[in-house]
Structure formats: C-alpha cells, structure tokens
Structure 1
Amino acid sequence: MTLTAVLAVGIFVLAYVFIATEKVHRVTAALAGAGLMALAGIVDAHSAFFAEETGVEWNVIFLLLGMMIIVSILKQTGLFQYLAIWAAKRARGRPYRLMVMLVLITAVLSPFLDNVTTVLLIAPVTVLVCRRLGLPIAPYLIAEALTSNIGGTATLIGDPPNIIIGTRAGLSFNDFLFNLAPIVVVLVGVFLLMCRWLFRDTLRRTPQHTEDLMDLDEREAITDPKMLVRCLVVLFAVVVAFALHSVFHLEPSIVALLGAGVMVLVSGTSSQQFLEEVEWSTLVFFMGLFVLVGGLVRTGVIERLGEAAISAVGGEYLLAATALLFGSAVLGAFVDNIPYVATMVPIVQGVVDAAPNPEQGKALWWAFALGADLGGNATAVAASANVVVLSIAARNGERISFWEFTKYGAIVTVVTVTLAWPYVWLRYFALG
C-alpha cells in the first residue's frame, strides 16, 4: 500500500471515529475529513465533484432534495396528522401493534419508492402518532429505517445500490423482484418478530393518551382538501415514474426534482414554506462522506480489499457468493453502501464474466445486492435512510446517537444476512 493510500485510510478512520463517538457533530467530522483529503492532495475538484467513481453521488443528493420538498408540501396539507391519528386509532394505542402497522407500511412502500423516500414520508407520521400516544419516537424511527433497507432490497429502485447493480449487470425491475422479493418477505416477517424483543423495554401502553386519541376525528386534520388532492395526484405520478424507471430511462433524481417542481406549482406554496423542512445538514453530510470514500477509491484501497476477497475464493463460486454476501455487509457497514457498490461493481462484473455457468455467475449479483443492501442496517451511516432518520429525530427533539442505532442495526444485519445465505445456496447452487 502506498503512502498516499495509508494517509487516506488514516483520514477516513479519524473522521469515522469522530462520527461514531459523536465528539463533534457528524457534519463537522465529514466536512473536516473531506477537507483533509483535499489538503493532502488525495482528491481534487474533479475527483470530488465530477468523477463518476470517486465524486459526490449527485443523483442521491438531488433525489433526497426533491423528496424532501415533496414531503414538506404534503405536510402543509395536514395529511401526516390525518395518517397519524388514523394509524393510532386502528392500533388502539397498543405500542407493538402500532409498530407492526408502521413497519408493514414501510415494507410495502420501500420496494416501489426507494428507502429514503419511504422514511421521508413515514417518519413525520411516526413522530406525530408517538407524541399523541406519549410514546418514545426513537424505537419506531429506528425500526422503520431498518425495515426500509430490508424492503428496498426487493426491487431495482428500492435501494440506490440496486440501481447501480442493475444498470451495470443489465438486470431489470422484474429480475430483482423475481430473485430477491421472496427472501425479503421472509426477512420482514422475521424482523417483525425481532421487534418485540429488540424494543421490549419501550413498548409500553399509556391508557390516558389512548382514550384522548380515540376521541379525535382524523378528518379535521386536513387543512386544505383541494390542495391535498392535487398533491396526491403528483405524488402518484412520481411513484409510477419510479416504478417505470427502466421504461422511461429517467434517473430517480430527475423524477424527484420534476415531481417537486410540479408540486410547488400546483400547491402555490412559497419558497420559504417548501424549503423549511429540507434537511440541509443531511445533504451536506452525504457530500462530505462521498468525498471521504472517494479518497479511498482513488487511492485503490477499496479496490484492493475487493480484489483480495474475490481472489481468495478462486473458481469456487459458492465461496465467492458467500464472500460477496458477508464481505459486502461488513465493508458496507463502515462506508455508505452507494459508493461501496459503485466501486465494487467492475470487480464483480469481471468475476461474473469469467463464470463457466452463467446462472451461478448471475448468483453473484444477487449475493452482492443482498450483502450491500442488508449491510446498510449495520451502522447509523451505512445507508442513506439511516442518516435521514437520525436527522428527522434530531429536528424533532429526540436525538438518536450513532451507537443507539448501531446496537439494533448490527443485530438485525447479522440475523438477516445469515438467513440470506441459505437462500442463495439453495436457489442458485443446491437446486439451481
């Protein structure tokens, strides 16, 4: 390893330690790390802002921005208050039943939106309903972030890494649905059972709050019915465009920005109103994180790690699939899974092309996707949805620390990745 690569690793580890220990705000740590990468000459303006493999993933940034604006406008209609009261009344104030309902909604939405959009839509509802019932917000938001990463694994557009894999490997929306949806359904069911144990200390009912809630009429929460109808039509069009990504050949970021622009027009809101809810600190954090990881990519650190893992398995494709599944989960836990996947895709492509059995070669893509997506639950910064949830919680006065999220996410990752391995083995090697 060159001196430059060692320096890049040192800067990344230092920034990551500050993010994990929360000695300084994560945005400060990410930007300081990115600045050190630039000062050391590891990255320059081109590699940080324009290069596809090492630069800021602008598709992710603008996808987040567009959906944050859409959510901000929807919030003004009273829709989230309506949904919060409706969900709480259907759950009759029972904390675990409420968690099951919110987790299932998240699991159903994630494959057809993306996991970030899903948590942006469901988190405001969660905050409101938890406050109505006097429940802690953090367990519900953490459960939704974890579910969004599991559910988003099922389709091409459900998790940003899948879009990268699908584009490079020529895999369609239906390919992902057919190959990954079955195991995702199982994993969501397992996660629902785990929630009862993981969050057992916080799932306590408050009878007084429940009685007060049952007297509320959710229809009174809608402040502007006509505006709501117009906005829901736009949101439906955005969802359809996401689902038909492979038909229209529009990047999700373009769809989100177009949807945000149209919703601004039909709602008539001012710039001050629709920019109010944008999580600017989250967007800046991702920019810094992308530059940090880009430094590792540019110096060849991530590529060497990937090549070492793949070369160690030789021609044993079950072993290669196993290494990709577990290795991606581990590596993706420490760097955001989007730049990690973008870096590893060419390496995996080379191994797949060399496979004598095309089906077993294709199995490597599914093992890779499962590892990267499910590994996104391992730490608070491993996936975009996690970072967004932490920001929403902080904005609403209930801070979720790096370690509070990670202690739950790491357990869920170990269980789900372990369950995914027999699925890959049975479907593509034992029975394939």
Structure 2
Amino acid sequence: MSVQIVLALAVFVGAYVLIATEKVPRVTASLGGAAAMILIGATDDHGIFFSEDSGIDWNVIFLLLGMMIIVGILRQTGLFEFLAIWAAKKARGRPYAIMVMLVVITAVLSAFLDNVTTVLLVAPVTLLVCGRLAVPSAPFLIAEVMASNIGGTATLIGDPPNIIIASRGGLTFNDFIVNLAPLIAVLLLVFIVLCRLLFRSAFRYQPERAARIMALKEREAIAEKALLVKCLVVLGLVLFGFIAHPLTGLAPAIVAMLGAGLLVMLARLEPQKVFGDVEWETLVFFAGLFIMVGSLVNLGVIAAVGQTAAAIVGTDYGLAAIWLTVVSAVASGVIDNIPYVATLAPITDDLVRAGGAAAQPLWWALALGADLGGNATAVGASANVVVIGIAKRHGEPITFWTFTKYGLIVMPVTIAIAVLYLWMRYFI
C-alpha cells in the first residue's frame, strides 16, 4: 500500500470522525477533507470537476438546487400550512397516527420521485404539524427520511443508485417493480411497527391542542391561490419529466433546473424569496463529500475492496448475494451510496455476465444493500443530509448520533429481512 493511499485513508477517516462527533461544523470537515485530498495529490481539478467516476456528481447537486428553489417558491403559497392542518385533522391530533400517515405518504411518493425531492416536499409540512402539536419534530423527520430510503428502493427512479444499476445492468422499470416492490411493501409495514417502539416518547397526545387543531379551517391557509396554481402546474411537469426519463432522455437534474427556471419567471418574486430557502451549506457539504470519496475511487481503494469481496465468494452466487447486500449496507452507511454504487456496479456487472441468469439477483442485492444501508447513519444517503440541513435551518437540529442511534436499529432489521427474501426467492 502506497504512502498516498495511507494518507488518503487517514484524511477520509479523520474527516468522517469530525462529522460524526460534530467537533466542527460538518461543512468545515467536508471541505477540509477535500482540500487535504487535493494537497496530497489524491485528486486534481480534472478529477473534481470533470470526471464521471471520481468527481463531484453535478446531477445530484443541481437536482437538489432545482428542487430547493421550487419548494421555496411553493412555500410562499401557504400550501404547506394547508397540508399540515389537513393531516393533523385527519389523524385527530394523535401524533402516532400522524407519523404513520406521513411515513406512508413519503414512502409512496419516494417510489415515483427521487427521495431527495420527496423529503424536500414533506419536511416543511412535518415541521408545521409538529409545531402545532408542540411535539419534537426530529423523530418525525427521521422516520420520514428512513421511509423515503425504503420506498425509493422499489422502483428504478426512486433512488439515484437504482438509476445507476439500471443503466449498467440493462434493467427496466418493470424489473424493479417485480423484483423489489413486494419486499418493500413488507419492509414498510415492519418499519411502521418499529416507529411505534423507537419513537414512543414523542407521541404525547394533548387533547387541548388537538381540539384547537380540529377547529382550524385549512382552506384559510392558502395565501396565494394564483401562485399556487402556477407552482402545481410546474411541479406536475417536473414530476412527469422524472417519470418520462426513459422517453425523453433528460436527466432528473436537467428537469429540475428547467422547472425551477420556469417557475422563477412565472412567480416574479423577489430574489430573497426565491433563493432564501436554498440549503447552500448542504450543497457545499455534498461537494466536499463527493471529492473525498472520489479521491478514494481515483486511487482504486473502493474498487480493490469490491474485487476482494468478489474473489472471496467465487461462483457461489447465493453467498455472493448475501455478502453483497451486507457489505453494501455497511459501506453505504459510511459513505454516500451514490459514489459507492457507481464503483461497485462494474464489478457486479462482471459477476452477472460470468454467471448468467444464476447471478442476476446480484443486481437486487446491490440495490437493496445500498438503498437500505443508507438508513444506517446521518451521511448514508443524500436524503438524510438534506433533512438534517432543513432541521438545523429551522432551529431544531438533529445530531449525527441522534439519527444514527435509530439507523443502527432500522438498517440491520430491514437488511436481515432483505437477505431472507433474496435467499428464499432466488436461491432455494
């Protein structure tokens, strides 16, 4: 092992420890780690800005930016207040019923939208509902982001890693539905039960607050009806653009930026109202994280780990599926699952080509491990980072360990069920 690789690993681990312990702001740790990678020669300007393998994933950055702009304008209409009151009234002010409702909505939306887009839409509603009921928002936000990672696993477009897997493996939208959706339905039910146990301290029912909520009229919350119509039309076009990707060939980031540009022109709002809700710190944090992980990709560290795992399992594809699911889950809890899958997809492709139909389930193992493993820690998936940024912005910060202590329960449970599913469906 070269000195450069040792230094790169030390930088990555050091930055991750700083992020996990929150000794310094996470964006400082991320950018500091990125700068250190550049100084030791682990990457360069071309690798950072132009390489598809080891650079910043601009598709993720601009998808986030576009959707943040759209959501920021949509917030001016009062729609989130309307949905907050409606949801609270339907659940009759009972916190657990509200959490179940929001979890199911989030999981279903995440199957047909990018999970980052979904949490950007649902999080503001959650903050308003929790404010009305005087209950802590952190358990609700954590439950929703975990539901988005679970629900997004079901379809090709639900989670960015699935798009990478589909492209590399030549898989269709229907392939994902047939092979993964049945399992995800079961996992969602299991997760709802876990929520009742994990977050029970947050379910404080206060009859007087519930009664006040039941007396509210949700329609009075809509402040800008004309702007709301414009927002819903543009949002509908953006969602159609996401779903129609196989026909149009337009990347989700392009669709989001086109929608944001159109809505900015139609809304004619002041710049502060348009761009004030953009989580700039989150975008910069992602950029630094991509640079650090890309440096390990550039040095061949991640590929070497994957190749070693492949050599261990040989042609026992049942064992390979289990290993790939578990290793992907653990790895995706440490590094963002997008660059991880981008690195492992070529290795998985080689195994599938060598093994034929018997090795085809390895694609589902990679998808399940990477997507569900993202629930393990606060930095395991893009949606996690975005929700933590939103919570901090609204004065209700979620620490790394607050998220992770729940993730380290949810992830092993869902992965264990996923492994059992793979084994029973494809290898018995």
For Structure 1 versus Structure 2, the TM-score category normalised by the shorter chain is over 0.9
Q: Secondary structure at the match of 1:277?
A: coil
Distance 1:265 1:362 in 2: 47
The residue type paired with residue 277 of structure 1 is: D
Q: Is the 8 A contact 1:333 1:381 kept in 2?
A: yes
CA shift, 1:272, in A, is 2.2
Q: Is the 8 A contact 1:153 1:369 kept in 2?
A: yes
Distance 2:33 2:392 in 1: 23
Aligned partner of 1:205 in structure 2 is 205
Q: Secondary structure at the match of 2:53?
A: coil
Aligned partner of 1:359 in structure 2 is 357
CA shift, 1:128, in A, is 0.4
Deviations 1:8-57 (A, max 9, x none): 10000000000000000000000000000001111100111111110000
Among 404, 408, 411, which residue is 1:410 paired with? 408
Aligned partner of 2:398 in structure 1 is 400
Distance 1:396 1:416 in 2: 30
Deviations 1:221-252 (A, max 9, x none): 10111211121111111111111211111111
2:425 is aligned with 1:424: no
Q: What fraction of aligned residue pairs are identical, expressed as a percent?
A: 61
2:1 is aligned with 1:7: no
CA shift, 1:178, in A, is 1.4
Aligned partner of 1:384 in structure 2 is 382
Distance 2:342 2:42 in 1: 19
Distance 1:113 1:207 in 2: 36
The residue type paired with residue 2 of structure 1 is: S
207-216 or 328-337: bigger deviation:
207-216
Distance 2:103 2:220 in 1: 26
Aligned partner of 1:337 in structure 2 is 337
Deviations 1:179-215 (A, max 9, x none): 1111011100100010000001111112221121111
83-92 or 237-246: bigger deviation:
237-246
CA shift, 1:261, in A, is 1.2
2:26 is aligned with 1:26: yes
Matches within 5 A, 1:27-426: 27-355=27-355, 358-426=356-424
CA shift, 1:270, in A, is 2.9
Deviations 1:90-146 (A, max 9, x none): 111101000000001101100111110000000000000100111100000000000
Q: Is the 8 A contact 1:149 1:374 kept in 2?
A: yes
The residue type paired with residue 373 of structure 2 is: G
The residue type paired with residue 238 of structure 2 is: V
231-240 or 73-82: bigger deviation:
231-240
Deviations 1:263-318 (A, max 9, x none): 11222223221101000000000000000101111111111111111110011000
CA RMSD of aligned residues (A): 0.8
Distance 1:359 1:125 in 2: 45
Deviations 1:60-81 (A, max 9, x none): 0000000001100110000000
Distance 1:422 1:177 in 2: 18
Deviations 1:311-334 (A, max 9, x none): 100110001111110010011111
158-167 or 237-246: bigger deviation:
237-246
The residue type paired with residue 382 of structure 1 is: G
Distance 2:158 2:92 in 1: 31
Distance 2:246 2:323 in 1: 29
**Which 5+ residue runs of structure 2 have no aligned equivalent?**
none
Distance 1:294 1:367 in 2: 23
Distance 1:127 1:144 in 2: 12
TM-score, structure 1 normalization: 0.98
Q: Secondary structure at the match of 1:354?
A: helix
Distance 1:8 1:155 in 2: 35
CA shift, 1:359, in A, is 2.5
CA shift, 1:388, in A, is 0.5
204-213 or 7-16: bigger deviation:
204-213
Q: Secondary structure at the match of 1:110?
A: helix
The residue type paired with residue 124 of structure 2 is: P
CA shift, 1:163, in A, is 0.8
Count of aligned residue pairs for this structure pair: 428
CA shift, 1:363, in A, is 0.6
Distance 1:329 1:346 in 2: 18
Distance 2:422 2:263 in 1: 42
Q: Is the 8 A contact 1:156 1:163 kept in 2?
A: yes
Q: Is the 8 A contact 1:65 1:278 kept in 2?
A: yes
Q: Is the 8 A contact 1:359 1:428 kept in 2?
A: no
Distance 1:192 1:325 in 2: 23
Distance 2:231 2:146 in 1: 28
**Which 5+ residue runs of structure 1 have no aligned equivalent?**
none
Q: Is the 8 A contact 1:173 1:246 kept in 2?
A: no
Q: Is the 8 A contact 1:172 1:246 kept in 2?
A: no
122-131 or 1-10: bigger deviation:
1-10
TM-score, structure 2 normalization: 0.99
The residue type paired with residue 351 of structure 1 is: L
